[in-house]
Structures are given as C-alpha cells and as structure tokens.
C-alpha cells in the first residue's frame, strides 16, 4: 500500500501547493492559536480587526481573512469575536474603533515560545477582555508592553498542548503614565472628574475637583494677563498716601468719557481722564462700557484673548484635564475626546463673550445710571466673579441640554451627543 504524501496547512481555506510524489495527498490542518476579543465598553459601539501581516481565520463566519491590511472584520460591542491564527503568525492584529487604533497585538512577542512542528501541538490562546468582569483567579505572569500604546498586555504561560479555555487566559489592559507629567499629578487629574463634596452648594454636580482647578487656572491667567493695570490700581505714592485708583463716567456731548482719580504722578498706567469707551485701556478694564461699538469690540477682544498668552495656558490645562478624564474611562473612544475638546473650545468662547457683555452692562449701570465712582481693582474682582459664575451656568446648561437630548444617563453634556453623531457619521460611511 502506497503511503500518502502529507501536507500541512495552518488555517481552513488555505490553498495547497506542492510537488506531488504520490497519487494520494493527505492534507492535515495544524492546531491553530485562538485569539478572542470580548469587548463591553459602550452600547452600539463597533470595532474592526485587521492583520498587518499573515492571514487569519474568522471562526464566527468560518471565512479566511486576508492579511496585509487587505481585509478587516467588523464586530459589535458585547459580541465575542473568535479568530484563528497560525502558530508562526507574522505581523500584528490591529483593533480599531471608529478608525482610531485601540490596541496592537503581536502574538510572536506576547508568546515567544517556539512550538514544535507536530500538527497536534496547540499554542496557548489569547483572549482580550475589556469591560468584562473577571471570573478567574489572579494571573501568574510577567508583563509585556505593547507598541504604540501606554498600556500593558499580560499573557500567562501554559503548556504547549493546553486545550482552549477561554476563561483562563486574559489579556489585561491597564492605563499607563503620560510622559513628562508626574504620575501622582496625572492620577489626581484622571480621578478629578467626580463629585467634589459640594453637593449642597452644587446641585448641578458641575463643581468637580477638576472644574475648581480649571477656575483657579483661569483666575491666575486673568491676573497674569492684566497684571499691569491691576498692580497700578493700588497706589501708595499719592500726596495722601495709600489710595485705590477710581474711575467715573461723564457723558460729554453725548459720548461716554472715563476719568480717573487716586493715582500719583509716578503712576504711568492711569492718566487724568477723558478716555473714550474705545480706548485700549478702557476696553481692557471696563469692557468698553458706554458705547455699543466699543462693547462689541471688547467682546471680540475677550474671545481672542481667551486663546493667547496666559489664558491660552489655562485653556491647554483645561484640555489636559479633559484628556485625563477621557483616558481614565475605557468606555470612551477618540470621538469622545474630540467632542470634549471641541466643547471646551466652544464654552471658552461663550464664557469670554458673555463675561465681557455683562461687565460692560454693570459698568454702565453702576457708573452712569447710578453716577457712582468705582475702584478699578473692584472691576477686576467683578470680572473674575462674573467669569466664574458664567462658567458655572454654561457648564450646568451644557449638562442639562445633554440630558434633554441624550437621556438622563448622559453625564457628558452636549459633547456626548456630538461624539455619538460623529461616530455614527463615520461608521455609516466606513466602507465609502
């Protein structure tokens, strides 16, 4: 009896090519490595998996999938995706959501063990479980760092002939540190989006620890950007000694004019007066109150000023806090971050504009209608107070509108709605 020629393949559906030495050819399917993705991060979220190198097999649909980025598999959150790969798989399996890379797995680095050529040898499986409650004992293993991600991937060692046990082998995903920022500060920012303990004073749950830090950063930026006139508002060199510089409005020929008092000759910031509402100093301190065109110009300056100098640093700090909170929540993807940063920008513009308008109105009411003189330092304090108050109102309104549009479970405000729409637009047009 002629012994058949034996040919081994790694995955079902692979083509068989060989030089025949006999009339009978026996094709043997080698034991594969199982790779399972079990993601439960957010309802209606979808993911794709593709290979940068070798082909792989979709055990769910029983189809061979071309590697080299030629084909990808689409699956839904909560759906367990079961893949087969060859024991000598080359390249990486890339997990994406809405076009954003979530993870790259390189099996040859995760499990460096060299397996024999025996078709019955079974490589250990890899299971990526994120958002799934663990039902197993703690893993006994070392940690291997995946490329392009600040995360750790852990793979336990098992015998080469171990059968598939989807519950025992888990790839753990944990957050890492951001380079250049001390770990303790980063940890505080990540966990600073929760309640601040001011429940009685903050029924809208806006004043989180990060929000309060953002207000401090904003106040510091305001003082830094306006330090020239704030410092000059207190003058100790007048003939009467220590005085606060005050301003008063008089309407001359139907036009508002600002006059100052309480300053010394050595004070170069303030002059005797007669400044119109459009004067640079009046725009900076009093938001151009007393003239409509000047008030509009002050609003434009306030919006532009929120994205430069110290105010820009404060804005970047606020964006860093948003990034920290986003990175600490595995249920969110790149669209959630993009939407949060976009809403930060929109809210910064709205707050700057409303603050300038309200300060201009207060100046007109107090200084013109009531005829009172006001300390310039008090105007600065009022601007800070109004800015914080407007910031709180805008953030509370953002949360309220988010719940109206997205349901009571939406705690991300309008950014949650924007992220959902962005994600939907991309996924609906993914193939196109």
What percentage of the chain has pLDDT greater than the value 90?
13
Question: Pick from 114, 135, 132: which is nearest to 123 by CA?
Answer: 114
189 falls within a domain: no
Q: In the prediction, which pLDDT does 194 show?
A: 54
Neighbouring residues of 393: CB distance < 8 A, sequence distance ≥ 6: none
Place of tokens 């800070």: 384
- Identify whether 61 is part of a domain: yes
CA distance 261 to 259: 7
For 287-328, write each residue's pLDDT tens digit. Answer: 888 778 888 888 888 888 777 767 777 778 778 777 777 766
Predicted confidence at residue 73, as pLDDT, reads 92
Cβ neighbours, 10 Å, residue 306:
23
Tell me whether residue 293 is in a domain: yes
Query: Does residue 405 share a domain with residue 260?
Result: yes
Overall number of domains in the chain? 2
- Asked if residue 188 belongs to a domain, the reply is no
Establish if 196 belongs to a structural domain.
Answer: no
Q: Are 26 and 5 in contact (CB under 8 A)?
A: yes
- Are 302 and 395 members of one domain? yes
Last residue of a domain, one of 137, 154, 171: 154
Q: Indicate the DSSP class of residue 123.
A: P
Domain that holds residue 112: 33-154
Same domain, 336 and 236: yes
**Is 89 domain-assigned?**
yes
Question: Residue 236: what pLDDT?
Answer: 80
Beta bridge partners of residue 238, listed in sequence order: 241
Bridge partner list, 65: 56
Q: Considering the domain boundaries, does residue 161 fall inside one?
A: no
**pLDDT tens, 84-100?**
998 889 999 999 988 88
Contacts of 74 (CB under 8 A, 6+ apart): 46, 47, 48, 430
pLDDT in tens, 239-257: 777 889 888 888 777 788 8
Residue 310, in any domain of the structure: yes
- Do residues 121 and 225 both lie within one domain? no
What ranges in 80-164 are assigned the alpha helix state H?
107-110
How far is residue 55's CA from residue 102's CA, in Å, rounded to a whole number? Answer: 20
Comparing 196-200, 224-228, 398-402, which segment has the lowest mean pLDDT?
196-200
pTM, to two decimals: 0.53
Are 273 and 258 within 8 A, CB to CB? Answer: yes
**What's the CA gap between 94 and 37, in Å, rounded?**
11
Examine the domain organization and report whether 242 and 381 are in the same domain: yes
CB atoms within 10 A of CB 187: 15
Find which of 47-56, 190-199, 290-299, 336-345 is predicted with most confidence, using mean pLDDT.
Answer: 47-56
- Of 107-116, 215-224, 420-429, the range with the lowest mean pLDDT is 420-429
Task: Give the whole-angstrom CA distance, residue 362 versus residue 10.
Answer: 78
């Amino acid at each position: 009896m002629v012994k058949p020629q034996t040919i081994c393949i790694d995955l079902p559906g692979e083509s068989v090519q060989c030089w025949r030495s006999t009339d009978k050819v026996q094709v043997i399917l080698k034991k594969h490595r199982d790779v399972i993705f079990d993601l439960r991060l957010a309802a209606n979220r979808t993911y794709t998996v593709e290979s940068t190198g070798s082909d792989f097999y979709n055990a769910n649909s029983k189809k061979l999938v071309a590697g080299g980025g030629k084909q990808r598999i689409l699956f839904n959150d909560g759906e367990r995706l079961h893949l087969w790969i060859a024991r000598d798989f080359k390249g990486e399996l890339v997990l994406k959501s809405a076009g954003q890379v979530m993870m790259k797995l390189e099996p040859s680095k995760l499990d460096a063990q060299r397996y024999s050529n025996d078709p019955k040898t079974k490589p250990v499986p890899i299971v990526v479980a994120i958002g799934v409650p663990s039902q197993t004992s703690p893993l006994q293993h070392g940690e291997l760092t995946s490329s392009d991600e600040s995360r750790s991937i852990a793979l336990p060692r098992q015998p080469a002939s171990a059968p598939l046990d989807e519950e025992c082998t888990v790839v753990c995903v944990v957050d890492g540190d951001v380079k250049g920022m001390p770990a303790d500060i980063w940890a505080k920012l990540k966990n600073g989006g929760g309640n601040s303990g001011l429940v009685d004073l903050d029924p809208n749950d806006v004043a989180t620890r990060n929000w309060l830090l953002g207000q401090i950063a904003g106040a510091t930026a305001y003082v830094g950007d306006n330090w020239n006139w704030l410092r000059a508002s207190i003058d100790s060199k007048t003939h009467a000694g220590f005085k606060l510089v005050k301003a008063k409005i008089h309407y001359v020929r139907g036009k508002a004019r600002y006059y100052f008092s309480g300053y010394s000759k050595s004070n170069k910031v303030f002059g005797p007066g007669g400044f119109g509402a459009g004067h640079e100093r009046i725009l900076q301190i009093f938001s151009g109150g007393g003239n409509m065109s000047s008030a509009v110009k002050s609003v434009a300056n306030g919006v532009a000023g929120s994205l430069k100098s110290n105010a820009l640093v404060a804005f970047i700090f606020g964006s860093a806090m948003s990034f920290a909170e986003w990175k600490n929540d595995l249920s969110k993807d790149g669209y959630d971050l993009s939407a949060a940063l976009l809403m930060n920008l929109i809210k910064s513009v709205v707050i700057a504009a409303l603050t300038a308008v309200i300060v201009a109105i207060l100046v007109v009411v107090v200084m013109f209608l009531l005829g009172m003189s006001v300390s310039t330092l008090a105007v600065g304090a009022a601007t800070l107070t109004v800015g914080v108050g407007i910031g709180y109102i805008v953030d509370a309104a953002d949360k309220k509108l988010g719940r109206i549009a997205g349901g009571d479970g939406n705690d991300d405000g309008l950014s949650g709605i924007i992220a959902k729409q962005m994600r939907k637009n991309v996924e609906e047009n993914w193939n196109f």
